[in-house]
Amino acid sequence: MHILVTGGAGFIGSHLCEKLIENKHRVIAVDNLSTGNYQNIEHLVKHKDFTFVFDTIENEAVLDRIISDVDYVFHLAAAVGVDLIVRDPVNVIRSNVLGTEVILKTANRYRKKTIIASTSEVYGKSEKIPFREDDDSILGPTTKNRWSYACSKLIDEFSALAYHHKYNLPVVIVRFFNTVGPRQTGRYGMVIPRMINQALMKKPLTVFGTGKQKRCFCHVSDTIGALIKLTQTEAAIGNIYNIGSTEEITIEDLAHKIKRLTHSNSELKYISYDEAYETGFEDIMRRIPSIDRIHQLIGFKPKINLDNTIQDMISYEKMKIAQQSE
């Protein structure tokens, strides 16, 4: 197969590219490196089956040429991270909505199967736990930048399903729930890499809000395995699937776990949301996926528990710190 991965230099995208090449596919990655990192794919660049294109997904001429020549598309490119979402909503909305429209329009022109990456953020403030794919989305007011990302990804989902219903474009939508692992950066607000780096550097571990928020974290290799299986399953077309773990932990307990696994004496430093992001920032107290639908379809169940996931990320961060000090 010849496969396009948009956002291929990003955290999830780079792992996907790596796995597809390992599975003997040819891969072309498109990324403008706004949140991606060239170092994530540097080890792939010289591989005969890998091509990197430095460009934006809004460049329709380039995407037309690429998509016409591939078998299917993984659309992972997006503006992500709470920090970026709050501070640069214009770029978040434009990149997510306009970029996805280019992908869908071009994929439809050439009738290419397309996997659209969405997010657990689309469930918004819903208190119905666990989140199921057909549940209502309950978002906050438009005066809060925090909701712009969820809204833009909902538009992506509506667009993808509209192309499927009107033109029979083969699309699959996946909603990621806190995918984590090596190469993820804490730069845009991702909690585990940020805390691990703080613990290893003997700095206080920052906990936003009360720390009582509960989250589930899924190792990137489990997420990638599910993505690839979905492309091989015709029954997935036209549907939405949660991908994540159901192993729940509070952010406060997560901080203590990271301290234990890094053998750190760092203190916990609590920071209010108003100080960290914006006045009146609203967080979700519990975000837990139902994975019944994807389990019934492809047998998906995460294999890597949270302790092993964190250990994997600690090893990566230690290697990165050692390289920077050379």
| Helix boundaries (H) for 42-127 | 60-67, 82-87, 89-110
In a domain, 125, yes or no: yes
In a domain, 294, yes or no: yes
The residue count for the chain: 326
State the CB neighbour count (10 A cutoff) for residue 244.
29
Task: Please state the domain count of the chain.
Answer: 1
In a domain, 121, yes or no: yes
Q: What integer best gives the mean pLDDT of the chain?
A: 93
Whether the per-residue pLDDT at 113 is higher than 70: the answer is yes
Residue 326 pLDDT: 66
Q: What's the pLDDT tens digit per position in 121-141?
A: 999 999 999 999 999 999 999
In a domain, 270, yes or no: no
Residues acting as catalytic residues: 149
CATH number of the domain that residue 77 is part of: 3.40.50.720
Specify the pTM.
0.94
What is the average per-residue pLDDT within 251-270?
97
User: CB-based burial of residue 278 (10 Å sphere; 0-12 exposed, 13-18 middle, 19+ buried)?
Assistant: middle
* Alpha carbon 51 to its chain's center: 22
Domain extent, residue 61, equals 2-184+218-245+288-303
Q: What's the pLDDT tens digit per position in 18-49?
A: 999 999 999 999 999 988 999 999 999 999 99
288 in Cβ contact with 204 (< 8 Å) = no
79 in Cβ contact with 99 (< 8 Å) = no
In a domain, 295, yes or no: yes
Peptide linkage before 130 cis (omega within 30 of 0):
yes
Report which secondary-structure segment, H or E, holds 133. none
Residue 191 pLDDT: 94
In a domain, 208, yes or no: no
> Quick one: CA torsion of 291, 293, 294, 299, rounded to 10 degrees?
90
